[in-house]
Amino acid sequence: MTENQPQQPQPHPGQNDQGQQRPERTQQLPMYGQHQQQQYAPQGGQPRLDSGPQGQRPGQYPAGGGTYPQFGAQGTHQGPSPAPNWPLGPQQATTTPKPKRRLGLAAVALTALLVGTAGGVGGAAVYSASNDHSTNTPSVTAPLNGNQAAPASAPDGSVQSAAAKVLPSVVKIAVASQQGQATGSGIVISKDGLIVTNNHVVAGAGQGATLTVILNDGRTVPATVKGTDPLTDLAVIHANATDLTPATLGQSGKLAVGQGVVAIGSPFGLQATVTSGIVSALNRPVTSGDEQQDSTTVFPAIQTDAAINPGNSGGALSDLAGQVVGINSAIKTAGGSGQSEGGNIGLGFAIPIDQAKPIIDELVAKGKATHARLGVTVGDAQSSDGLTNGARLGEVTSGGAADKAGLQSGDVVTAVDGKAIASGDALVAAVRSHRPGDQVKLTVTRGGKTQTITATLGSDNGNPTG
């Protein structure tokens, strides 16, 4: 693996092959209504924490960025065709067929999903409560009248209060191209139309495609792509509007496990959907992409059990104060075979806003972003019983950050800044959480002895494949 593109290491003498595992993948939240399978993964190989095509061994990815194919590779359409006016026009409710029972779920696959899926949202069930006889009990579906109390105002710190603050700043994004139509979500970051989303949401908005934003107030406005960064799965678009409500960006570094959070977006095209849950874990190293690819990108995610489904990609994860702390990006599904058929199983992942902010600023200013680089290939270090117990360093790039710090091939990194590193993916995610020029303290085992080495991270200068 590299800092930018981790992968499984080759077995070392004396190591147990039985314990080796392929890196888990999250499913990129597939865009709702998409007719092409979005692929968020480069070709396989050993990840590197640097780039550097020369002298690179087969199957290696440079640290700080490997050679990545663009998101949005065409694939097989999954699901029914969209309704006639989808995704912008009205749809009539139809009878929802009873879902078929699936026997035997395939092995859980961690694959990055672009939130969105093929077909219209036809068939939404409509509940109607009716009484054959007149009573004094109001119908549960009847509108408020003068004899009924209006809902109480939302107390601070409640899901209701957080939703009220964030909803005006979350939009639905529709992409229409020759390959089909799909929708995702986005977060307004400026009054004059700047919106942040996932790169895989807008990857299909190339030449001949139409990019449209559906605002929370119902207006539909055209938009253009301002900058993209496939390495971190972030993108900024510009909507043709000057009166938007920007979201308040919080600090993901202040989150705690167990803290309440709210996810807002357009799952399956259902705009302005609010779900809630807790922070299940922090700094979770998530490898997101197509399961059929050997490796993908890795980021230190916020894990949450708030329901996140296809179409939520690019939407907001907020704390209960109504501040955006993450950008929903991936889910773990039980669909199998890298398909997006599996929905929410309580394992959603968001890009921390602290990591996203500097990338967003660079995308707005320059249309591309820079990334930290250690300059070494990495793999999983395994003990004799096959358990992963750190990140084993492979090839060290001459003149890179690792080389200058005195790191050597064969070193095993077990912690970064005091936080345990359990695998090569974890080291990649830790490096990704930093910026070029940051200093990190690495706990390293070499020849059976433990030492601490300080390294100053390098930069890919906006060229993760160079």
217-224: long-range contacts (C-beta < 8 A, 24 or more apart)?
217/168, 220/88, 221/193, 223/173, 223/193, 223/195
Q: Give the contacts of 13 (CB within 8 A, at least 6 positions apart).
A: none
| Phi and psi angles of residue 375, each rounded to the nearest 5 degrees, phi first | 85, 50
Type of residue found at 113: L
313 carries an active-site annotation: yes
User: How big is the chain by its Cα radius of gyration, in Å?
Assistant: 23
Query: Residue 203 belongs to what H/E stretch?
Result: none
- Going by C-alpha positions, the residue among 16, 18, 21, 14 that lies closest to residue 379 is 21
Catalytic residue among 35, 50, 177, 200: 200
Residue 173, token pair as written in the block: 């994004």
What is the rounded distance in angstroms from the CA atom of residue 358 to the CA atom of residue 372? 12
DSSP secondary structure letters along 21-62: -PPP-BEE-PBBT-SS--------SB-BSS---TTPPTTB--
Tokens of 448: 């059976």
The β-bridge partners of 431 are none
Is the four-CA dihedral 287, 290, 292, 296 of positive or negative sign? negative
**Hey, CA dihedral for 77, 119, 210, 188, is it positive or negative?**
negative
How far, in Å, CA of 12 to CA of 227, rounded?
42
Token code pair at residue 18: 């039985």
Active site residue 50: no
> Which string of b and e fits 388-403 if b means at least 16 CB within 10 Å?
bbbbbbbbbbeebbbb
Annotated catalytic residue, options 35, 177, 185, 233:
233
CA torsion sign, 263 to 268 to 272 to 273? negative
CB 263 within 8 A of CB 312: yes
Residue 59: both structure tokens together: 């199957």
Look at residues 441, 404, 395 and name the one whose alpha carbon lies nearest to residue 60.
395
The reply to whether 383 belongs to the active site is no
Cα–Cα distance measured from residue 4 to residue 113, given in angstroms and rounded to the nearest whole number: 19
313, 318, 340, 423: the active-site residue: 313
Catalytic positions: 200, 233, 313
